[in-house]
Structure 1
Amino acid sequence: MLFPTANSQAQIPPASFQPGEAVAILLPLPLAGSYDYTVGPGQRLAAGDFVRVPLGGRTVCGVVWGAGSGLVPVEKRRAVEECLDLPPLPEESRKLVDWVAAYTVSPLGAVLRMVMSVPAALDPPPADPVAYVAAPPPASLKMTEARRRVLEAAGQPLPAAELARLAGVGASVVKGLADAGALTRLVMPRRTPGALSDWRREGFPLSSDQAAAAAHLRAKLSGGFSVTLLEGVTGSGKTEVYFEAVAAALEQGRQILVLLPEIALSAQWLARFERRFGAPPLEWHSELGQAQRRSSWRAVAEGRTRVVVGARSALFLPYPDLGLIIVDEEHDSSFKQEEGVIYHARDMAVVRARLGGLPIVLASATPSLETQTNVEAGRYERVHLPLRHGGADMPDLAVIDMRRHAPPRQTWLSAPLVAAVEESLAAGEQAMLFLNRRGYAPLTLCRGCGLRLQCPHCTAWLVEHRHAGRLQCHHCGYISSKPPVCPQCQAEDSFAACGPGVERLAEEVAAKFPDARVRIMASDTLSGPRATAELIASMERREIDLLIGTQVVAKGHHFPLLTLVGVVDADLGLAGGDLRAAERTFQLLCQVAGRAGRAARKGRVLLQTYQPDDKVMRALVSGDAEEFYRAEADDRRIAGMPPFGKLVALIVSGPDPDQVDRVAQQLARLAPRDGGIEVLGPAPAPLALLRGRHRRRLLLKASRSTKVQGVIRQWLGRLGPQSAVRIQIDVDPYSFV
């Protein structure tokens, strides 16, 4: 997606709606538009109000979206039951719902559901917790051993249950002491995360380049809408620079949103934020419990929290006073939502900033080609940090040609990489081996007949996780044990692991470096943010000599003693027909390489590759990122591919392959053919079976000037509604599986 323009269709009248008037209510359901209701007696509603309305035989919550259509007769309209005690959904949030629905060709209600993602937050919040603290006991109180233990434990305010547990007594003892006046009852206001960030605290010392970049970002806070790319080499201090913009926005009393690609894995970022501002921000991601999500959603809506850091869904929280958006690692593909309403959070964040008239900062060491193109076209500004902070040098990078340095059979570390690891460990330094493949082995097959163990619900091989004793599909989550007998040839104990995952690599490392302290860092070996933080702390305390990891190790971690990074299979991301394969591989390997030598000691990076002459490998070795981006842009421009053309994927899926094929073929026959539009397919998707659904893909290709959303609506309108299959629309596809 290139630079967006706001084109909201929301009806936002200045006046309120009186009893008896028709009002449009949008419900968080996959519906194309709003329903007409009547304002109830004694009610006074305005656009954005959260209301409770009848729908069929149940009651649902929705949002006043504007005046009623007038198409529903008065006698058939049902009345709004209740206006909820909540601040109204801000105008910018309503416009964003309209914009996202129009751009992604999604039902309005499905987008609203992302805003109203915590239904429990619409209910009145629970009462503030009550605590008890010891008071001078009345003279008439008969003291017992149980009562004495309670009063000793109540030196600080504690809930009754906790006090009873510490004293080893029943709840009745605590209640009796409170009734007698020996315990004082206190109401403890709930702490609001993200509300205590202090902009007055002194920041980290900045270099002249960093100070100039920070001044540029601070100036944008008084200039309305703008988009600034904060580009800097790994270790250049981009986070500290945009923290200065955060401080300036806090000084103005505004809300700030920071989007991170992997919020649950960003322990170091959160620690740096708390050191800088004296308090943690409000977190928003899928690892949060329901109670925390409820209180956090309401804190944002009521303006009680200032700083929110979250994954892509944090964009749809109801900010009443948003003043700054930052998208860190803006190039990261995890900002693309692939299920439900399909959208790219970076692009929709730019839309949100434009709708709110506020600045947005896109930070990256390896910006996306879309962002680079917008900078070159003058739509975005660029601030560049060319040097690492603190005088650290960029690491030396070299390739190991695996055609010349092939390792022994059933091993994956070449002799030069083994020697480099030995040198680093001997010098008391840390090393990291990167392999972007989870588990023990990506493929398990029978030695007798060649049967490959495949997921029964997906077109995908089962990945062996030997440490956990299971086979697993990484697409649908299906888990099974390894069969003792081949189901095809009945051979016993015949299954062999093919290829390496990080677990198998760890076995080889243990054999080659028996004295090294080794840990694995992968998404399926980390049970959550706490486990991630503990592993990172172990690395910082030098309790780990050699870290083996997947792409989660590339996410901005700073390990001062890590001087060697070895990439075991640098060609892995180049396989397949993915439009962005080269760009993604370049970005990922740059990020991984950037973990080496970030402090006083010089770092080096070794890439094991069978394709040393590929443009990605040449650019990495030369350090000439601009040359890579120029070559990649030329290739895309010649092919008319994004960002120089438009793509829309249509994925037809269903449980019956014959029905899916019929609908896909019908779609192809009805496809638009004029105006320079080209439709490819239908063809089986690379994952032709996913979670039990058969899948066929069609791809619409058009020029940049084509308004593809209108074309898609007309195309699907000619097909008509389909109950047997689902047609998923992906504007600007990132994934081609």
Structure 2
Amino acid sequence: MQTDLLPPPADGRVRVMLTLPFAGPLDYLVPPALATARPGDIVTVPLGRRTETGVIWDATSSLPPEFMPPPQKEVPASRLKPVAARLDLPPLPAQLRQFVDWVAAYTLSPPGMVLAMALRANALAAPPRPASGWVAASPLPTGLRLTPPRQKVLDAVSASPLSTGDLARQARVSTAVIRGLAQAGALNAVEITPPPPFATPDPAHCPPQLGGEQAQVAAELRARVTEDAFSITLLEGVTGSGKTEIYMEAIAACLDAGRQALVLLPEIALSAQWTGRFGRRFGAEPALWHSELGSRLRRLTWRAVADGTARVVVGARSALFLPFDQLGLIIVDEEHETAFKQEDGVTYHARDMAVVRARMSRAPVILVSATPSLESLANVGAGRYRHLRLTARHGNATMPEVQTLDMRADPPERGLFLSPVLTGAINDAIGRGEQAMLFLNRRGYAPLTLCRTCGHRMQCPNCTAWLVEHRARHILTCHHCGYDEPIPQTCPKCADTDSLTPIGPGVERITEEARATFPDARILVMASDTLNGPAATAAAVERISRREVDLVIGTQIVAKGWHFAHLTLVGIVDADLGLGGGDLRASERTVQLLHQVAGRAGRAEAPGRVLLQSYVPDHPVMQALVSGDFASFMQQEAEQRRPGFWPPYGRLAALIVSADTPDAADMTARALGQNAPQLDGVQVLGPAPAPLAILRGRHRHRLLLRARRNIAVQPIVREWLSRVRPERGARIDVDIDPVSFL
């Protein structure tokens, strides 16, 4: 029900949700001057001695009973303060308000902090004042003296109004001539309406020529959109099968229906190549939404989404909280990516929340991947998701040949990290005029620095993590808290000089080895340290596409959907990286990542080859990559998780205790353990020190609640937390459906 149309209560009481960590909305009175205020209106209200921005909230909630927070005590009307003002902003749609409530209840987060993601401060600033311009008076004043310069001015404004500066330049006169005409009454001042910030995409601009299974899948996706109803479709296609071009046909159907579309990408770096494809298909650029937008563009985009002039938005996970009112389609590209999980603040998974947002908007959602998550595959098996497959690459391209290099049989030379077999293959590829890629998912020069004399290891003072050497910047840095220090000349412990040595390779070290091994090769490094934003990424991609690069060396940023027609060889430097540790998804993530990287090879006419350097070539992950049998591997993963009710066949909720002192963290964690719920189908693991026992100077413990899939964990966790009072300086964070276990 669209509660926007409901009148305020007879007693003038309204609920206002503030972007603060309160348990729910606060009550205020509506003054007579704001008698027309409705739910969704953005207002300012007094709070103590300051003024805060909030949204008039709905009087009733649409949440299911198990998600309902505890009722709040009603404040007497005599103690309520009046709403201060209503802002000149589009109201927050009812669907978005319901979505905020749902996300808050599901993640056990304060609803005001979820609302803060929808009400970005720089998006709510007042719009710029309209520019003023000039038009010719009609009729012109009697007796007006028309000199040649004056006539040029009148001719210039005959088509459309122009500002003083633009008019002077176009007519090639001084501004004094314009002022004289205005004083004589021959020019009238008008406001110049700015053009829309985003051009309207044209669904018929350049439709692709599709055939076979591509045409069938595209028709199926268009049908889902034209149903004008909620549905979930998993689009699975091998790398290079044209998934992007195909789901753009669903966007075209959405535009034809007069509704808005949202596309979520896991990395904003992907937006450069994606928007290029979009522009070629639709003849216009989409609206972008991510953290690197400037304040002005963020404000324009927010308003354009609210008024519907932004027809297609592509963005990071936070784009889910934009004020769409006519949302007709959501696409989650690379749906398996863990980058869709927000770990700080409100912890939510954008893929899962996209399904919720689509349901509330009665819109279809399409989840896209070459290597779908086990969660999505389980939903397909349960009949909750439709499943569409693309089994072949587009055109004449074929899937690359994948081989393992047993590093025990073909080890690199001492002090190096590339097998002679791999270096030989790179030389051959470059010699044929083709491009090659080396992948290592580890930033910096080396992950560990130690003293050869005393064995001291350089560790972060704020975290239980080793400092990573970044030789190009001459620093040691912590990738968890951002701490850095210059690389010392002497060991901090034994004071021996020049005894510190790097252990293991990072992408910088591989680059150093590659420059020495291939001195004539043109090398490009693609990592978050070297590519600062979408513009730098677009420039790098353009260099590769123009064949100005022979060898690409990169971290996981190179795995995401790039199409390089002349890249035929991919070498995985350390295929075993990521298999260790206690993460239940380690094997699944490794298969997905390496399969994506491998998919960069051979995407055009020339066949591709992938070489995996591994010390465990018989590992199921390596065997799955070599055989290309992703389905069988995921079935094995499912069989391992199902008996213990591990996701997706059970539910998890993590409680992370952090405190300034180890005693406060330990005592709070023990209190949680002693008060753990004792319920059938529910098990609590822990408390135990977190793998990152100290993070950003805070001591950490973890507890993990595991439940059968038919049990809602939120009310259990909420009641559990109510029985424990954290020690002074301690905090308990809740992560529903955790992805990281650090």
Q: Is the 8 A contact 2:3 2:58 kept in 1?
A: yes
| Equivalent runs, 1:179-258 vs 2, <5 Å | 179-181=179-181, 189-223=193-227, 224-258=229-263
Distance 1:562 1:133 in 2: 57
- Deviation, structure 1 residue 140: 7.4
- Deviation, structure 1 residue 706: 1.5
Amino acid aligned to 1:62: G
Amino acid aligned to 2:17: L
Q: Is the 8 A contact 1:209 1:385 kept in 2?
A: yes
Amino acid aligned to 2:401: D
- Deviation, structure 1 residue 524: 1.1
Residue of structure 2 in register with 1:325 after alignment: 330
- Among 59, 62, 74, the residue aligned to 1:67: 59
Distance 1:537 1:206 in 2: 26
SS of the residue 1:221 aligns to: helix
**Aligned pairs, how many?**
713
* Corresponding position: 1:15 with 2:6: yes
- Among 352, 376, 386, the residue aligned to 2:357: 352
Question: Which stretch of structure 1 is more off in the superposition, 395-404 or 179-188?
Answer: 179-188
Instruction: Specify whether residues 109 and 405 from structure 1 end up closer, same or farther in structure 2 by C-alpha distance, changes over 3 A only.
Output: same
Q: Is the 8 A contact 1:12 1:65 kept in 2?
A: no
- Among 46, 55, 80, the residue aligned to 2:38: 46
- Deviation, structure 1 residue 702: 1.2
| Equivalent runs, 1:69-218 vs 2, <5 Å | 71-116=74-119, 118-129=120-131, 176=176, 178-181=178-181, 189-218=193-222
SS of the residue 1:99 aligns to: helix
SS of the residue 1:391 aligns to: coil
- Deviation, structure 1 residue 493: 2.2
Q: Is the 8 A contact 1:596 1:605 kept in 2?
A: yes
Amino acid aligned to 1:590: H
Distance 1:315 1:335 in 2: 11
- Deviation, structure 1 residue 564: 0.2
Instruction: Specify whether residues 13 and 618 from structure 1 end up closer, same or farther in structure 2 by C-alpha distance, changes over 3 A only.
Output: same
- Deviation, structure 1 residue 65: 1.1
- Deviation, structure 1 residue 189: 4.1
- Among 446, 458, 477, the residue aligned to 1:472: 477
Structure 2 residue runs of 5 or longer lacking an equivalent are 61-71, 137-143
Distance 2:698 2:534 in 1: 33
Residue of structure 2 in register with 1:25 after alignment: 16
Instruction: Specify whether residues 59 and 723 from structure 1 end up closer, same or farther in structure 2 by C-alpha distance, changes over 3 A only.
Output: farther
| Equivalent runs, 1:303-318 vs 2, <5 Å | 303-318=308-323
- Deviation, structure 1 residue 507: 1.0
- Deviation, structure 1 residue 494: 1.9
Deviations 1:326-347 (A, max 9, x none): 0000000000000111000000
SS of the residue 2:569 aligns to: strand
Distance 1:185 1:499 in 2: 69
Distance 2:162 2:371 in 1: 50
- Among 532, 551, 568, the residue aligned to 1:527: 532
Instruction: Specify whether residues 12 and 509 from structure 1 end up closer, same or farther in structure 2 by C-alpha distance, changes over 3 A only.
Output: same
Distance 1:343 1:163 in 2: 52
Residue of structure 2 in register with 1:3 after alignment: none
Residue of structure 1 in register with 2:722 after alignment: 717
Taking only the aligned residue pairs, the percentage that are identical comes to: 56
| Equivalent runs, 1:332-411 vs 2, <5 Å | 332-411=337-416
Distance 1:327 1:668 in 2: 38
Instruction: Specify whether residues 204 and 142 from structure 1 end up closer, same or farther in structure 2 by C-alpha distance, changes over 3 A only.
Output: closer
Q: What is the Cα-based RMSD across aligned positions, in Å?
A: 2.8
- Deviation, structure 1 residue 142: 11
Distance 2:550 2:513 in 1: 15
- Deviation, structure 1 residue 653: 0.7
SS of the residue 2:395 aligns to: helix
Q: Is the 8 A contact 2:14 2:27 kept in 1?
A: yes
Distance 2:174 2:263 in 1: 44
Q: Is the 8 A contact 2:238 2:392 kept in 1?
A: yes
Residue of structure 2 in register with 1:613 after alignment: 618
Structure 1 residue runs of 5 or longer lacking an equivalent are 1-9, 168-172
Amino acid aligned to 1:127: R
Deviations 1:210-236 (A, max 9, x none): 111111011112321100011100000
Q: TM-score if structure 2 supplies the norm length?
A: 0.91
Distance 1:157 1:534 in 2: 38
- Among 455, 462, 465, the residue aligned to 2:460: 455
Q: Is the 8 A contact 2:122 2:298 kept in 1?
A: no
Q: Is the 8 A contact 2:463 2:696 kept in 1?
A: yes
Q: Is the 8 A contact 1:33 1:107 kept in 2?
A: yes
Distance 2:726 2:367 in 1: 40
- Among 474, 477, 485, the residue aligned to 2:490: 485
Residue of structure 2 in register with 1:545 after alignment: 550
Deviations 1:669-719 (A, max 9, x none): 111122132111111111111112111111111111211101000100011
Distance 2:7 2:726 in 1: 37
